[in-house]
Amino acid sequence: MASLHDDLRAGVRSLCARFDNAYWRASDEARAYPHEFVDALTEAGYLACLIPEEYGGMGLGIREASVILEEINRSGANSAACHAQMYTMGTVLRHGSEEQKRRYLPGIACGELRLQAFAVTEPDAGSDTTRIRTFAARQGRRYVVTGQKVFISRVRQSDLMILLARTTPLDEVEKRTGGLSVFIVDLRDAGDAVRVKPIDTMINHESCEVFFDGVEVPAGNRIGDEGRGFRYIMSGMNAERILLASESVGDGLYFVDRASEYARSRRVFDRPIGANQGVQFPIADAYMDVRAAAAVRDQAARDFDAGETRGDGPNMAKYLASRAAWKAANAAMDAFGGWGMAAEYGIERKFREARLYLIAPVANNLVLSHVATHVLGMPRSF
Ligand SMILES: Cc1cc2nc3c(=O)[nH]c(=O)nc-3n(C[C@H](O)[C@H](O)[C@H](O)COP(=O)(O)OP(=O)(O)OC[C@H]3O[C@@H](n4cnc5c(N)ncnc54)[C@H](O)[C@@H]3O)c2cc1C
Rounded percentage of the chain residues whose pLDDT exceeds 70? 99
CB neighbours of 362 closer than 8 A, spacing ≥ 6?
Answer: 127, 237, 241, 315, 318
Residue 236, pLDDT > 90, answer no
Overall fold of domain 2-110: Butyryl-Coa Dehydrogenase, subunit A; domain 1 (1.10.540)
Q: Is the pLDDT of residue 1 over 70?
A: no
Our answer on whether the CB atom of 205 is closer than 6 Å to any ligand 1 atom is yes
pLDDT in tens, 186-216: 999 999 999 999 999 999 998 999 999 999 9
Is residue 262 in contact with ligand 1, taking CB distance under 6 Å? no
- Among 20-29, 90-99, 163-172, 289-298, the range scoring the smallest mean pLDDT is 90-99
276 lines ligand 1 (CB under 6 A): no
Looking from the CA of residue 203, the nearest atom of ligand 1 is 1
**What is residue 154's three-state secondary structure?**
coil
Q: To 5 degrees, how large is the angle CA 167–CA 168–CA 169?
A: 120
Distance, in Å, from the CA atom of 234 to the CA atom of 249, rounded to the nearest integer, reads 22
Residue 125 in contact with ligand 1 by CB distance below 6 A: no
Residue 242 amino acid letter: I
Integer Cα distance of 307 and 261 in angstroms: 40
Interatomic CA distance for residues 74 and 64, integer angstroms: 15
Q: Is 360 in the pocket of ligand 1 (CB under 6 A)?
A: yes
Over residues 353-364, the pLDDT tens digits come to: 999 999 999 999
pLDDT tens readout for residues 53-62: 999 999 999 9
Extents of the domains making up the chain: 2-110, 115-227, 231-375
pLDDT band at residue 90 using 50, 70 and 90 as cut-offs: confident
Kindly state the percentage of the chain with pLDDT values over 90: 95
Q: What are phi and psi of 115, to 5 degrees?
A: -115, 85
Query: How many angstroms separate the alpha carbon of residue 319 from the centre of ligand 1?
Result: 14
Quick check: CB of 200 below 6 Å from ligand 1? Answer: no
Q: Report the pLDDT averaged over residues 150-176.
A: 96
Q: Find out whether the beta carbon of 121 lies less than 6 Å from any atom of ligand 1.
A: yes
Half-sphere exposure of 334 (CA within 13 A, CB side): 17
Closest-CA residue, ligand 1 atom 52, reads: 151
Residue 171 phi/psi, 5-degree rounding, is -80, 0
| Ligand 1 centroid distance, CA of 122 (Å) | 9
Phi, psi dihedrals of residue 177, rounded to the nearest 5°: -80, -5
Q: In this structure, which residue's CA is closest to atom 14 in ligand 1?
A: 151
- Ligand 1 atom closest to residue 361's alpha carbon, by position in its atom list: 17
pLDDT of residue 227: 98
Q: What confidence tier does 91 reach under pLDDT thresholds 50, 70, 90? A: confident
Residue whose CA is closest, atom 49 of ligand 1?
Answer: 363
User: What mean pLDDT is predicted for residues 255-281?
Assistant: 98
Mean pLDDT, residues 65-69 taken together: 98
| Mean pLDDT in residue range 116-140 | 96
Averaged confidence pLDDT in the chain: 96
Residue nearest to atom 28 of ligand 1 (CA): 126
pLDDT tens, residue by residue, 306-328: 999 999 999 999 999 999 999 99
Model confidence at 84: pLDDT above 80: yes
Burial of 4-26, coded b for 16+ CB within 10 Å and e otherwise, reads eeeebeeebeebbeebebebbbe
What CATH number is given for 231-375 in this structure?
1.20.140.10
- The finding on whether 120 has its CB within 6 A of some atom of ligand 1 is yes
Q: Would the CA dihedral through 264, 259, 316, 94 be positive or negative?
A: negative
The pLDDT confidence band at residue 245, using thresholds 50, 70 and 90, is very high
For residue 128, how far is its CA from the centre of ligand 1 (angstroms)? Answer: 9
Residue among 151, 243, 352 to mutate when testing ligand 1 (max atoms within 8 A of CB)? 151
- State residue 234's pLDDT score: 87
Q: Above 80 in pLDDT, residue 287?
A: yes
Strands 207-218 and 180-186: unpaired
pLDDT at 162 over 90: yes
119 Cβ below 6 A of ligand 1: yes
Q: Is the pTM of this model over 0.95?
A: yes
Decide whether any atom of ligand 1 lies within 6 Å of the 152 Cβ.
yes
Q: Is the pLDDT at 122 greater than 70, yes or no?
A: yes
Domain 115-227 class, CATH top level: mainly beta
CA distances (Å), 334 to each of 248, 263, 323, in order?
A: 19, 10, 17
Give the model's pLDDT for residue 235: 82
User: How high is the pLDDT of residue 172?
Assistant: 97
Q: What share of the chain is helix, strand, coil (3-state, %, to 5)?
A: 60, 15, 25
Residue 47 has pLDDT above 70, yes or no: yes
Backbone angles phi, psi at 178, to 5 degrees: -85, 170
User: What are 69-82's pLDDT values in tens digits?
Assistant: 999 999 999 999 98
